[in-house]
Amino acid sequence: MAAEALIVIDVQNDFCPGGALAVSGGDEIVPVVNDLIRKFDHVILTQDWHPAGHSSFASVHPGKAPFETVAMSYGEQTLWPDHCVQGSTGADFHPSLEWTRAELVIRKGFRTGIDSYSAFFENDRRTPTGLAGYLRDRGIESVILCGLATDFCVAYSALDAVAQGFSTSVVLDACRGIDLNGSLSAMIVRMRQAGVRMV
Ligand code: VGL
Ligand code: ZN
């Protein structure tokens, strides 16, 4: 059977209750994710990893509040509270996440001028993170995604994974969403239509 990899998206303190961009129930997935981690031979993590003053932070756009949008050179960008600043506790993985066996950590969003929801491409939809090449070089044809947030980083990663030709599943029990203006159900529909399996 072709190799498969578990990709754990952004299970970081800032996306858990008490964090800067807390996803409701974000910490509830940690035991479920840990069970998945034990079951896979290949485990990859992503880590949202922004420099201070990142262009996705509302705080750097005068007059703008979090969850509003702004036009960037690459298109519309949702603005967020300052979160997952490089080296901060908020950017650390949740303390109960059993990440020791992970063979690769993909950091994303580290360029000041561009955000990156997807583990595969930054928000210009063109700049690769290198993950697709890594998976292909290792003979991995199938990916299973979980983590935070369902409707942003998990969804964009899943859509890019199918577009890149990987057989792609999302474990919804091991995800939680932000749900901004109905984004959760909208992104689940988009993933299904694109051929992502929901398990
Ligand atoms: C995410 C918004 C901003 C995510 C990351 O992990 O879904 N969402 N940065
Ligand atoms: Zn971010």
Q: Does the pTM of the predicted model rise above 0.75?
A: yes
Mean pLDDT, to the nearest integer, of 79-83? 98
Q: Which of 24, 46, 48 to mutate to test the pocket of ligand 1 (most atoms within 8 A of CB)?
A: 48
DSSP for the chain, written as a single string: --EEEEEEE--BGGGSTTSTTPPTTGGGGHHHHHHHHHH-SEEEEEEE-BPTT-TTBGGGSTT--TT-EEEETTEEEE-B-S--BTTSGGGSBPTT---TT-SEEEEE--STT----SSSB-TTS-SB-SHHHHHHHTTEEEEEEEEE-IIIIIHHHHHHHHHTT-EEEEEEEEEE---STTHHHHHHHHHHHHTPEE-
What would the pLDDT profile of 95-111 be if each residue is shown by its tens digit?
999 999 999 999 999 99
Which residues are found with C-beta within 5 Å of the ion, ligand 2?
Answer: 48, 109
What local confidence, expressed as pLDDT, does residue 1 receive? 58
What would the pLDDT profile of 5-26 be if each residue is shown by its tens digit?
999 999 999 999 999 999 999 9
Report the atom number in ligand 1 closest to the C-alpha of 50: 9
Pocket of ligand 1 (CB under 6 A): 10, 15, 48, 80, 117, 148-149, 152-153
Q: Which ligand is nearest to the CA of 16?
A: 1
What would the pLDDT profile of 171-196 be if each residue is shown by its tens digit?
999 999 999 999 999 999 999 999 99
